Amino acid sequence: MPIEDALIPNPITINAEYTVEQALTLINKHQIRSVPIVENSGKFIGMFGLHSLLDDLLPMAAKMEEGVKDLDFVVGGAPSAAKKIRKLAHKSVLEVIKKTEEHHYLKDDMSILESIRRLYKYGSPLPVVTKELKFLGLISEQSCLNHLNEVLKEVEAEEKLNTNL
Amino acid sequence: MHDLIFGIPAQYIALAIMGLVYAVIIAEKMNQAVIALIAASMAIMFGLLDQEQAIHAIDFNTLFLLIGMMVIVGIMKETGIFQYVAIVAAKFVRANPRGLLIILSLITAVFSAFLDNVTTVMLIVPIVILLTEQLKLKPYPFLLSQIIFSNIGGTATLIGDPPNILVGSAVGLSFTDFLFNMGPIIVMMLVIMIGVFDVFWGRHLSTSNRARAHLLRYEPKKSLKNKPLLIKSFIVLGLVMAGFTIGHNFLHIETGTTALAGAALLMFLDGIGHKLPEKNKKAHAAFHEVEWDVIFFFMGLFIVVASLEHTGILSLIAHQITVVTEGDFTKTGMVILWASSLFSGFINNIPFVVTIIPIIENMGDTFGHGEALNPLWWSLVLGACLGGNATLIGASANVMVASYAERANAPIAFVKYMIHALPLTILTIIIANVYLYLKYFI
């Protein structure tokens, strides 16, 4: 598996029974931005993240396609956004997550460069799954760079060996 | 052109091709521009008209007017001016839902008179949804009024609605002709419609003071994004309006030329002070604002209708209509009004208008040419534009508002819309009927 070595070791996961509040507590505690939702059978369901929550704080008119493109004129919107968070707290994480598009997954047989391209394009971390959507782990910008550092060490060791010969 | 093609009379082939266009549009199985182009190609390949005649059939004045206005509005919307006007208006009525329904409807009517209806609703409806969301109001009455008022407002001027552009360009009616003949009746209709909307919806609307206070804190100035561009846009828009009126009436400059010149001027002004790559990028973005599928839909239709005209079938239909109306001018006008409104209520009014223009021109043999036919043109314009209100698919603006309603999780049901809109449409057609009769037919 080409990207196996770039995975985050032992990532935190949650199951579908978590509420938004519980998931947020977990996210705060571990200082992470998103957490994968995985069934007990190991099937990947989606990513719960702060980004998807932000979406729920916006008025419908700003989220829809060809909608209001700028909300700078809305002064004093913080209390109503705060109230929306209160409303969301007791909802299940499943109600809040957005559908994970196919290009947001990484497949286990994907090349490292394609993983880097997707991380660059769609943000970090991204889930890695099998064809049957079995969850294998997460890959992040940091885990990817760590892996490349390891590769660099190997390359340098090899170069050193070659010059010594 | 041969009278027989593969042993079949050319008229039948021309009719079959036009029938195919209508069938595909009604069945909604293919993009309208694609079927129009396929039909136009068939008309040429079957020899109903040759390449030169086909190109000659395209009314480039209409296309230039559409393209020019699309570019100008596309650049202008980046300035945030439309959002600004809507928010200022909402604050002007102190965020009172009843006043808001009236003022947003009026804004849409006025914008629709000077911009394409679809463009207008695309600019105004998102902000309408935002305001109703903030005031915790059901968006339906607001969206319904957006549709009705955009179609009514669009009838008032030469550039308000495609049927007007088509008629104006084909017949040579000017911007001021439209304004003086259609303006008064449209203003009257707007006043009546405001009354109707207030009685049935406006006076029942209420919201909390807290929600209103929140909306009153909005700072509309912040939505104005590019003031230099706004000033340039207003200058160009002023010049274009002058071109439509003074330029057309005294210098005989066609409206299509004026609109394209305006678009070119605005693109030039927008590029000043930028390096070439940035200028190119801006011009590219401005041309991207043109809805090319609409332009090619028109092109295809012009060719298909010309092929019908070449076979002589349209003059035959014109003759038949005058036979049915016993050569009575008033009766013919009323038939055109009601038939075009009925037709426009259910399918796109553009192919209908493109087809009926040569038919009415052919009636000149019975009723006299030139200005003598004007009452029939006004009947067509009023019927085709106002009829579009009848159903949710009657005009492109309706479809656009319905699509926004869906995106906002407040879909408009087809039947519910018709129950409300059909009586309103009939009311406007009756008002139009009385006006036409009193002003032109007695």
Tens of pLDDT, residues B37-47: 999 999 999 98
Of A65, A70, A72, Cβ closest to residue B407:
A65
Say if A60 is an interface residue toward chain B (CB within 8 Å). yes
pLDDT of res. B430: 97
Contact A60 B129 (CB under 8 A): yes
pLDDT in tens, B382-408: 999 999 999 988 888 998 899 999 999
Residue B257: what pLDDT? Answer: 94
Q: What local confidence, expressed as pLDDT, does residue B11 receive?
A: 86
Looking at every residue in chain B, the average pLDDT score rounds to 91
Chain A: give the shortest CA distance to residue B11, in Å. Answer: 44
Chain A residue numbers with beta carbons less than 8 Å from the beta carbon of B409 are 60
Task: Answer whether A68 sits within 8 Å of B130, measured CB to CB.
Answer: yes
Tell me which chain A residues have a C-beta less than 8 angstroms from the C-beta of B137. Answer: none
Q: Dump pLDDT digits (tens) for B268-303.
A: 999 999 999 999 999 999 999 898 988 998 899 899
pLDDT over 60 at A1, yes or no: no
Domain boundaries, chain B: 61-288
Of B87, B129, B220, the CB nearest to A61: B129
Residues A63-92 pLDDT 10s = 888 899 889 898 888 888 888 888 888 999
Model pLDDT for residues A109-125, shown as the tens digit of each residue: 888 899 999 999 988 89
As a three-state string, the secondary structure of chain B is CCCEECCEEHHHHHHHHHHHHHHHHHHCCCCHHHHHHHHHHHHHHCCCCCHHHHHHHCCHHHHHHHHHHHHHHHHHHHHCHHHHHHHHHHHHCCCCHHHHHHHHHHHHHHHHHHCCHHHHHHHHHHHHHHHHHHCCCCCHHHHHHHHHHHHHHHCCCCCCCHHHHHHHHHHCCCHHHHHHHHHHHHHHHHHHHHHHHHHHCHHHCCCCHHHHHHHHCCCHHHHCCCHHHHHHHHHHHHHHHHHHHHHHHHCCCCHHHHHHHHHHHHHHHHHCCCCHHHHHHHHHHHHHCCCHHHHHHHHHHHHHHHHHHHCCHHHHHHHHHHHHCCCCHHHHHHHHHHHHHHHHHHCCHHHHHHHHHHHHHHCHHHHCCHHHHHHHHHHHHHHHHHHCCCCCCCCHHHHHHHHHHHHCCCCCCHHHHHHHHHHHHHHHHHHHHHHHHHHHHC
| Residues of chain B positioned with their CB less than 8 A from the CB of A74 | 218
Q: Do A75 and B126 touch (CB under 8 A)?
A: no
Min CA distance, A116 vs chain B (Å)?
29
Whether the predicted pLDDT of B2 surpasses 70:
no
Q: Note which residues in 96-155 of chain A have CB less than 8 A from chain B.
A: none
Residue A68 at interface with chain B, using a CB cutoff of 8 Å: yes
A67–B222 CB contact, under 8 Å = no
Q: How far is A83 from chain B (nearest CA, A)?
A: 13
Q: Which residues of B touch A67 (CB under 8 A)?
A: 126, 129, 407
Nearest CB to B126; choose among A67, A73, A75: A67
Nearest CB partner across the interface for A76, out of B214, B222, B408: B214
pLDDT in tens, A93-102: 988 887 767 7
- In order of their start, the domains of chain A are 4-164 (3.10.580.10)
Please tell me which residue of chain B has the smallest CA distance to A79.
B214
Q: Which residues of B touch A68 (CB under 8 A)?
A: 83, 126-127, 129-130
Given an 8 Å threshold on Cβ–Cβ distance, is A60 in contact with B133?
yes
Residues of B in contact with A58 (CB under 8 A): none
B122 to chain A: which residues are within 8 Å by CB?
Answer: 66
Over residues B91-113, mean pLDDT:
96
Measured in angstroms, the CA of A1 and the nearest CA of chain B are apart by 41
Q: What is the ipTM of this complex?
A: 0.76
CB B356 within 8 A of CB B380: yes
Quote the minimal CA–CA distance from B126 to chain A in Å: 5
Residue of A nearest to B88 (CA): A73
Longest Cα separation, chain A: 71
